[in-house]
Amino acid sequence: MKKENKNELMVIEPINFNELNVSIEALGENRALSDKEKEIGVNLLKEWEVNVIEKIDNKRYELEKIKWFFTNTSYHLEDEQKEKLAKFAGTEKLFGEYVDMRGVVKNLELTCPVRPKINPNITVAENDLNYGEYEAQLTKFNVEKSKIEYKKAQAYIKWFSATRKSPSIKKLLIELEDYLVKVNKYKVEARDKAHLAKINISISDVKIRDAIREIVEFTKRIK
């Protein structure tokens, strides 16, 4: 199994649809396709268009979650994603300390005193004494829990701050912002390439193809 490289966890690559130009042009070179073959080809290109746009949207959502996490302190991010960020930023140790503190809190919660039920077989004074002991234990528990919760919060702040300040995360945030700005452009380009490919595969007449391409190009120039 290939060992995962922490630098591969948050990959943001610009999409260059011009790499498809040669393949799109090649679709128009074969005039021997039957109508059925053309129909199959067009349907496959429709699926390709849908899949590409879906992947672009999925990437957008993934990057938006990271952006919201670092810009909105109330935004929740899954532990798995936080762990990836920690690996990417080189703050695994700090993240581990925070996770450990969460475990301490959970273990402490298991020792929370149980409110006693009124026992009809003993006197009121004895029931009051039992309740008084419970309240004393609960107060002691809540004090201890507050201390641990504070330590957990401090561990989280320490990890979050170190992660946010890491050079790799700073670079990531710049790259993801650039991707988010270009998302709509990428989706338009995907549709444009799909249209051109469908034209090349379904229309045999070169002049007609060129005319339709000119119309498509005109639309692309409208800002």
Give the C-alpha separation, 101 to 153, whole Å.
9
Give the C-alpha separation, 55 to 70, whole Å.
23
- The string of DSSP letters for 59-99 reads HHHHHHHHHHHHH-TT----HHHHHHHHHHHT-HHHHHHHH
* Cβ(27)–Cβ(201) below 8 Å: yes
Q: What is the pLDDT of residues 205-222, one digit of tens each?
A: 777 777 777 766 666 665
pTM greater than 0.85 (yes/no): no
Report which of 117, 101, 97 is spatially closest to residue 109, judged by C-alpha positions: 101
Average pLDDT for 124-131: 92
Average pLDDT for 117-130: 92
User: In the numeric block, which tokens belong to residue 195?
Assistant: 């249209």
Report which of 86, 33, 56 is spatially closest to residue 180, judged by C-alpha positions: 56
Quote the radius of gyration of the chain (alpha carbons, Å).
30
Mean pLDDT of the chain: 88
Give the C-alpha separation, 195 to 79, whole Å.
41
pLDDT score for 219: 62
pLDDT score for 148: 97
Q: Of the given ranges (97-106, 157-166, 190-199), which has the lowest mean pLDDT? A: 190-199
- Report whether pLDDT(9) > 80: no
Average pLDDT for 159-169: 96
Give the C-alpha separation, 203 to 113, whole Å.
78
- Report whether pLDDT(5) > 50: no
Q: What percent of the chain has pLDDT over 90?
A: 65
Q: What is the pLDDT of residues 56-113, one digit of tens each?
A: 999 999 999 999 999 987 788 999 999 999 999 999 999 999 999 999 999 999 999 9
pLDDT score for 4: 44
